[in-house]
């Protein structure tokens, strides 16, 4: 990421960051569910592992994006430390990210 893009990224308004945090959190939650309840059972029950890698990669990218947005929420939007930790823990639990709206 170039410095110009980074500066533009950091100049986002708080409402925009919050909106993207909730959107990416929800999409990341769906990708986690697809990985856990579709791709992994297909791999272990039906011996078709070819779905795990693409789904895992998509989930990984979304998780990293979610962590970046969580950091922005903490440092720029001033999400409390307790709620930031809780949001992180929710991202590790299936269905957890669907409750992020209660934190912001």
Q: Which domain holds residue 55?
A: 16-102
d(CA 70, CA 87): 8
Residue 72 lies in a domain: yes
pLDDT in tens, 12-53: 788 999 999 999 999 999 999 999 999 999 999 999 999 999
Is residue 5 in some structural domain? no
CB atoms near residue 24 (< 10 Å): 20
Taking the C-alpha atoms of residue 39 and residue 75, their distance in angstroms, rounded to an integer, is 35
**Quick check: is 1 in a domain?**
no
CA distance 51 to 57: 10
Token pair of 16 as six digits: 């925009």
Establish if 31 belongs to a structural domain.
Answer: yes
Q: Enter the pTM of the model.
A: 0.86
CA distance 54 to 58: 6
Give the separation between CA 25 and CA 104, rounded to whole angstroms.
Answer: 12
In the chain, the number of structural domains is 1
Q: Give residue-wise pLDDT tens across range 60-89.
A: 999 999 999 999 999 999 999 999 999 999
């Amino acid at each position: 990421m170039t410095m110009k893009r980074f500066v533009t990224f950091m100049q986002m308004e708080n409402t925009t960051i919050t909106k993207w945090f909730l959107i990416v959190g929800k999409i990341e939650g769906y990708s986690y569910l697809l990985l856990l309840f579709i791709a992994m059972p297909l791999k272990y029950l039906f011996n078709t592992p070819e779905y795990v890698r693409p789904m895992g990669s998509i989930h990984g990218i979304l998780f990293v994006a979610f962590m970046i947005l969580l950091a922005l929420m903490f440092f720029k939007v001033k999400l409390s430390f307790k709620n930031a930790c809780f949001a992180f823990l929710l991202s590790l639990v299936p269905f957890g990210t669907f409750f992020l709206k209660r934190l912001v």
